[in-house]
Amino acid sequence: MSASSTITVDDKQIDLPVKTGTIGPHVIDIGKLHAKTGVFTFDPGFTSTASCESKITYIDGDEGVLLYRGYPIEQLAEQGDFLETCYLMLFGELPTPAQKADFDYRVTRHTMVHDQMNRFFQGFRRDAHPMAVMVACVGALSAFYHDSTDISDEKQRMIASLRMIAKMPTLAAMAYKYSIGQPFVYPKNELDYTSNFLRMCFAVPCEEYQVNPIFARALDRIFILHADHEQNASTSTVRLAGSSGANPFACIAAGIACLWGPAHGGANEAALKMLMEIGTPDRVKQYVDKAKDKNDPFRLMGFGHRVYKNYDPRARIMQKTTHEVLGELGIKDDPLLEVAMQLEQIALKDEYFIEKKLYPNIDFYSGITLKAMGFPTDMFTVLFALARTVGWIAQWAEMIEDPSQKIGRPRQLYIGPDKREYVPISQRG
């Protein structure tokens, strides 16, 4: 593609610069389009629009490729741990052993939450959805940690980032414990990040708790797989909220709210519920037919992706992780897994799914794995939020540190009534 692209508006030709990234499609810079022609572009859902420049994550949806700072997700998930991915996200490079030890120490030092948070929790109903609790508690961190909300101070930005990465597991575990009426378990900092989280979720004060290393490794991998996914809905929400100068805790709370939706982070919960509803492999075909029926709004949860039009690379790793966890539990013939396998096989061979490039996504397998570990379905999206926090923070920081950054302000195509005169209420009706 040449360095510029030409558009004709009302017989007037305008040259628009074309920008080139390291890899991936070129983008046409339309920043001056309105000033030069008086028109806007129209792209609801941002299907053809790049909203920013970013150095963090790259996805090739056609090839099924996902890179964090250039490193393939498969290599990070197989060979590294989650805090290493966090370091990579925040600083752009993999840490040396000394940098890693220092980073682990700094994150670990922030795992406790202000003790007054305990009282904050008491205000929620017992049956509150843990995502509702997370939105509120993460937003409330800005009230508890006011000393790290000045976004113009680089040091405060880093402290807020470390606090959120460190405290998210503690808050997530507290949300779970509160919902089942068990006492909160304080973090134990001699444990690694993910083992510490498992302990805070599943230990009780009256018994010793041994972290299962296979579960800890599997969950750590799930966290790596969910750490970032470029400009998805929740990340774009965080960036948009942050573009106004809002504090980082409030921005991440906005991201959590967006993630909650069933088309985004809520899909793993929805996928598991669907597998349970299908129940047995012989009913799979009936559900596949239902998903294909134009007159039925039903969709196969855990299938399809806005960007991946090939097998989601995260789904492959997740499938392997699922088998490891079920193998550890001695579950060889799990009915849910059987339904999942059958569904995957049928859908992958079906003309409808092939033609529309609908492949299983990460949520298809993550629900089965998390359930086997003992997490209730309404905690699934919370775990996603925990893992995605580092991606949100890295994207937020990248935006704040960009000198050309300005407040996000999309335009619209107005289709409401034209200008009209106000009629006093006595003359209406």
CB of 66 to ligand CMC, least distance (A): 10
If binding means CB under 6 A, how many residues of this protein chain bind ligand CMC?
19
Smallest separation, CB 68 to ligand CMC (Å) = 15
Nearer to ligand CMC, 106 or 273 (CB): 273
Based on the shown chain and the rule CB under 6 A, indicate whether residue 232 belongs to the binding site for ligand CMC.
yes
- For ligand CMC, which stretch binds (CB under 6 A), given 120-128, 238-246, 303-311, 366-374? 303-311
Q: Identify the CA nearest to 318 among candidates 275, 363, 274.
A: 363
Among 300, 318, 368, 383, binds ligand CMC (CB under 6 A): 300
Position 356 contacts ligand CMC (CB under 6 A): yes
Q: Which residues 252-291 are close enough to bind ligand CMC by CB under 6 A? A: 263-265, 267, 291
- Of the residues 81, 104, 363, 378, only one is catalytic, namely 363
Contact 57, 398 (CB under 8 A): no
Binding range to ligand CMC, per CB under 6 A, among 213-221, 276-284, 302-310, 392-400: 302-310
Nearest to 398, CA basis, from 222, 236, 165: 236
Q: Which is nearer to ligand CMC, 68 or 303 (CB)?
A: 303
Closest C-alpha among 224, 221, 223, 200 to residue 211: 200
Residue 129 or 306 having the CB closest to ligand CMC: 306
Binding status of residue 83 toward ligand CMC by CB under 6 A:
no
Catalytic residue flag (residue 146) = no
Encode burial over 284-298: b for 16+ CB neighbours within 10 A, e otherwise: beebbeebbeeeeee
363 annotated active-site: yes
User: Are the CB atoms for 291 and 299 separated by under 8 Å?
Assistant: yes
Please pick, among 228, 305, 312, 378, the residue that the annotation labels catalytic. Answer: 305
Among 82, 303, 359, 396, binds ligand CMC (CB under 6 A): 303
Give the CA distances from residue 296 to residues 115, 227, 305, 343, 386, in Å, rounded to whole numbers and listed in that order. 50, 34, 19, 18, 34
- In the range 171-210, which residues lie near ligand CMC by CB under 6 A? none
**Residue with token string 């029926």:** 293
Region binding ligand CMC by CB under 6 A among candidate stretches 73-81, 146-154, 202-210, 355-363: 355-363
Which tokens in the block code for residue 151? 């976004």
Q: Least CB distance from residue 189 to ligand CMC, whole Å?
A: 31
Active site residues: 305, 363
Residues interacting with ligand CMC, by CB under 6 A? 229, 232, 263-265, 267, 291, 299-306, 356, 358, 361, 363
